Amino acid sequence: AQKVTQAQTEISVVEKEDVTLDCVYETRDTTYYLFWYKQPPSGELVFLIRRNSFDEQNEISGRYSWNFQKSTSSFNFTITASQVVDSAVYFCALSDGYNFNKFYFGSGTKLNVKP
Amino acid sequence: SAVISQKPSRDICQRGTSLTIQCQVDSQVTMMFWYRQQPGQSLTLIATANQGSEATYESGFVIDKFPISRPNLTFSTLTVSNMSPEDSSIYLCSVRHSSYEQYFGPGTRLTVT
């Protein structure tokens, strides 16, 4: 069965600190996709990144970076030099390998960035 | 990406009534999805809506409680029927992008009293 675990319920950091959000997934599929979404207080989910199971290259986009390791079934998200605007709930998600339409979301990590 | 709008953005409803939520997309999409996010919780898929066919419901969700319409490729509605306080949630629609990610609407915040 597919499952996504985000063990960190809530994290608080001070602005300019680096922070890593953990995501561990379970699947028996060989082909699957992993995603990160941001949900600011306004409530709308914002797509951040997609990674397929065959691409283990790490990705960097500005202050954001993602570390995908199949060996540990992890897809962690790091924010460098955090800012107050990064405060949000972040969700990691996994798509079903047979039905890519079905998403399995983790429970989310609430990030509080204090000035 | 797709631009998705939902109506209403929020509502307060009385127990036993029904609310219909609309989802409009700015481009034609084959599949639309409806999710529920209970307070402080993650997202749970309610159903997948294809144009021209019956919606496919996930375990724990039934058509009588959450009827869905999909009259064309840019529009869908979700009705929450015979509401109870347990239905208080954010309801989100989403569409699948060609590259597998899903894009979400702003959500409808429903409070049932």
SS (H, E, C) chain B: CCCEEEECCEEEECCCCCEEEEEEECCCCCEEEEEEECCCCCEEEEEEEECCCCCEECCCCCCCCCCEEEEECCEEEEEECCCCHHHCEEEEEEEECCCCCEEECCCEEEEEC
For B13-25, what is each residue's pLDDT tens digit?
A: 999 999 999 999 9
For A17-48, what is each residue's pLDDT tens digit?
A: 999 999 999 999 889 999 999 999 888 899 99
Question: Could you tell me if A62 lies within 8 Å of chain B, comparing CB atoms?
Answer: no
Return the pLDDT at A56: 84
Query: In chain B, which residues touch A (CB < 8 A)?
Result: 1, 31, 33, 41-45, 48, 90, 92, 94, 96, 99-107, 109
For A45-82, what is each residue's pLDDT tens digit?
A: 999 999 989 888 888 889 999 999 999 999 999 999 99
Provide, rounded to the nearest whole percent, the portion of chain B with pLDDT above 90.
82
SS3 A33: strand
Question: Could you tell me if A47 lies within 8 Å of chain B, comparing CB atoms?
Answer: yes
Q: Is the pLDDT of residue A109 over 80?
A: yes
B10-13 and B108-112: which strand pairing?
A: parallel
User: What is the average per-residue pLDDT within B32-48?
Assistant: 93
The average confidence (pLDDT) of chain B is 93
